[in-house]
Amino acid sequence: MKIQFVTIGKPKLHYANLGWNEYIWRLEHFHQVDVKHLADKYAKDTKKILEATADTYRVALVIEGGKALSSHQLAHFLQDRELVGKKLSFIVGGPEGLPQKVIDACDYQWSLSPLTFPHDLAMVIMLEALYRASTINAGVPYHK
């Protein structure tokens, strides 16, 4: 499956940068991965964010209003999206979140948790969750 990550900014904290790189590397074993880090100055630029995700199935990472998924539910979500054959874009806003117009333009709103996480940590949690779901789908013994 083709998966794209569009983020506002790159992970800045050392531990988050290490985690980001580790889980991108792991995901590349299961998917064709593309990463687009938009500069922080585009955090509120709806047009720029949507252009970066044109012709894809857009998933907004949100805190409120999104659907929380278990690891198995996320695995099923990925399987369903793979059957459609359209590139899947996960969009992560900056520390202030995503502009409402971007959220509204997305096909799906995903919430990692009702808790609020630092921006850098949320990016790593998202990747780990997707990696875990991918291993479930592949039958690899990672999920416990």
Tens-place pLDDT, residues 49-68: 999 999 999 999 998 889 99
Q: What is the pTM of this model?
A: 0.95
One-character DSSP codes across 38-82: E-GGGTT-HHHHHHHTTTSEEEEEESSSSBP--HHHHHHHHHHHH
Q: Which residue, among 124, 143, 137, has the nearest Cα to 24 in the 3D structure?
A: 124
Q: What are phi and psi of 60, to 5 degrees?
A: -90, 130
Cβ-contact 79, 125 below 8 angstroms: no
Q: Which residue, among 42, 57, 66, 63, has the nearest Cα to 105 in the 3D structure?
A: 57
Which residue ranges make up each domain of the chain?
2-138
| Residue 12 confidence (pLDDT) | 93
Q: Which CATH superfamily is domain 2-138 in?
A: SPOUT methyltransferase, trefoil knot domain (3.40.1280.10)
The mean pLDDT value for 100-121 works out to 94
Cβ-contact 34, 4 below 8 angstroms: yes
pLDDT above 80: residue 143: no
| Residue 116 confidence (pLDDT) | 87
Here the tokens at position 41 are: 């100055």
Q: Please report which confidence band the pLDDT of residue 98 belongs to, taking 50, 70 and 90 as the band edges.
A: very high
| Residue 85 confidence (pLDDT) | 87
Cβ-contact 89, 65 below 8 angstroms: no
